[in-house]
Amino acid sequence: MTQFQTIREIHDAYDKRKFSVMEFTQEYLASVKASKHGAFLTLCEERAFAQAKAADAILAKEGKVPRASRPLLGVPMGIKDILLIDGVRTTCASKIIENYVAPYTATAVERLETAGALTLGKLNLDEFAMGGSNENSAFGPVLHPTHPDRVPGGSSGGSATAVKAGLCHASLGTDTGGSIRLPASYCGIVGVKPTYGRISRFGQVAFASSLDQIGPMTHSVEDAALLLDVMCGHDPLDSTSSSLPRMNAFQATQKRPDWKQMRIGIPKEYFIGGLNPDVEKAIQSSMKWFEAQGAKLVPVSLPHTQYAVAIYYIVAVSEASSNLARFDGVRFGVRPVDANDAKDLAGFYKHVRAAFGPEVKRRIILGTFALSSGYSDAYYKRACQVRRKVKQDFDQAFEQVDLIMGPVSPTTAFKLGEKSKDPLQMYLNDIFTIPANLAGLPAMSLPCGKDSIGLPIGLHLMAPLFGEERLVSVAHDFETHSGMGRI
């Protein structure tokens, strides 16, 4: 399998006619078919071949890749199966809509394809993006790309494994409480959750609308920045998308930061115990590298971090309960075949909603309870009030620092089945990633080392609202010069 670390390398190979886009596409699709990772749920062969043919025609006409107009020409990509693509099956890894065919394409995917990207297929995930290990898929778990007895992280586990295993060059994931950054950390790739509203959510099947964001998963920070540039910008089809001018994150990766002016916050709440020793050692080594460049490490406090998981699992499940109400067998979802299953309304709904998996059912029940009469003020309203406190913690911290640094997860990838029987332990894995979603901040995971058995460790960087350019500039410099940023 031809492996490239950056899109720049792919385009240089196209320019030198080392292979055609069609040959490259065929090679990737053959690898996907031979894979046993469980990363892909649906292949888009006809779509990918048509896109490859069009890309080869452009190369024949132009003589080389037109990087300005087609910055992603001939780049093989996988799309998390919670994003719609017209004429392609979208399952959300759930039996309840396993045969649903989308009538339109998500804005983020459409922008990638317009830029020349090749859509190889749809990627596995935790059902409706609910989970942190990718063991909750109705179609089977995704295996870790290098340690198949381990989980790849979730919910975008298929997206992370596919990139690391060389089944696609880049992928799209979605991040509600860490679902891009956690699998990126576990698998040793780059994953970015942009500022809430930076990338349109139109065409994403909603989990928790005030938290969800679409983002790239790549081998390099440079590629992640390029994908961000292509996908960002206002979308009239999404009322929550930002009207700010389009950013130029890729350009920000091409120059080194002014390290002597850089202040990096280290939250004391992230280092008070519970970290795996190998994870803590890798983060401490990263901190020393930043300090050696001239950056000033500043202790900061995020006191409401201790409430973040509790807040998240009230707000997220409440919004999920509301969003998933549409899967009722009338508008969306399986319909009873046996008349005995639909002899009355209660029987009809019982049959339809039984198609959800156990984790989705758990969250719907919790969310329905939190929103129910007599409890919504005590739970949902109060959670929203404390969520504001989390945002205020970050506002105060960013008055002192330019970025905030810490671990992505307390541990490296755990074994399949190790935490599936204890949902609370699974939920606590997101303690460092959830706050960025609650506050709407841009955040990134990038590799910074390995543990004693070779499992990747991710470094977590967070920036102020719409601070993606600063984020990728610092991350790219770490990746390029530290010796720890690619594993």
Active-site residues, by number, are: 80, 155, 179
Check if the beta carbon of residue 379 is closer than 8 Å to that of residue 370.
yes
Which residues does residue 443 pair with via DSSP β-bridges, in sequence order? 193, 462
Q: Which residues contact 148 (CB under 8 A, 6 or more apart)?
A: 37
Q: Considering all CA atoms of the chain, what is the largest pairwise distance in Å, rounded to the nearest integer?
A: 72
| Cβ density class 210-223: b for 16+ within 10 Å, e for less | bbbbbbbbbbbbbb
For residue 411 the two structure tokens come to 């541990």
Closest C-alpha to 441, from 229, 185, 215: 215
Closest C-alpha to 355, from 132, 83, 97, 123: 97
For residue 261 the two structure tokens come to 């002016």
For residue 358 the two structure tokens come to 């156990």
Phi, psi of 225 (to 5 degrees): -65, -40
For residue 393 the two structure tokens come to 């913690």
Q: What angle do CA 229, 230, 231 make, to 5 degrees?
A: 95
Which residue blocks in 215-256 are alpha helix, DSSP H? 221-231, 249-252
Phi, psi of 184 (to 5 degrees): -60, -40
Length of the chain: 487
For the chain, report the end-to-end CA distance as a whole number of angstroms: 18
DSSP assignment of 115-132: TT-EEEEEE--SGGG--S
Closest C-alpha to 207, from 478, 48, 437, 462: 437
Check if the beta carbon of residue 298 is closer than 8 Å to that of residue 333.
no
The residue type found at 336 is P
CA distance 392 to 398: 10
Q: Which long-range contacts (CB under 8 A, 24 or more apart) does 27-30 make?
A: 27/1, 27/2, 28/1, 28/76, 28/120, 28/167, 28/168, 28/169, 29/120
Phi, psi of 297 (to 5 degrees): -90, 125
DSSP assignment of 435-483: HHHHHT--EEEEEEEE-TTS-EEEEEEE-STT-HHHHHHHHHHHHHHSS
> For strand 263-267 and strand 296-300, is the pairing parallel, antiparallel, or unpaired?
parallel
